[in-house]
Amino acid sequence: MHDTILIEGITFHAHHGASDEEQVVGHRYSVDVVLEYDIRPAAQSDDLSQTINYSAVAKRVLAMATENRFRLLETLAERIAADILQNFPASAVEVTVRKLLPPMKVPAQATGVRIRRCR
């Protein structure tokens, strides 16, 4: 079984979406991140430098999501996963991106994508 570090519910307003209107007006989003990483050294030493700092990960996710514009949630999820694997020593990452209360004719709490990428 793999150890995991969880970051759930990183919420923000951003300008992603397939339509031009969504690109201008923006929408609310939520991102969850699951990092696979052996946390035993950190647990044994009680030393933050022995693990992945989830605050640093969350800041990168927020920057990636709010400083860029994408048409597809799939693209946003891929970019977040690639950035995490490039900048942190996780062996794998799972990223869930949700558009909250999406503008659709059928009421839904959220739509989204979930991807898992490994080194």
Token digits of residue 100: 């909250």
- Angle among Cα 38, 42, 47 to the nearest 5 degrees reads 155
- Residue of 31, 34, 35, 99 marked active site: 99
Examine the residue annotation and report whether 99 is marked as an active-site residue of this protein: yes
* Amino acid of residue 46: D
Say which residue the tokens 């503008």 belong to. 103
Query: Could you list the active site residues?
Result: 99
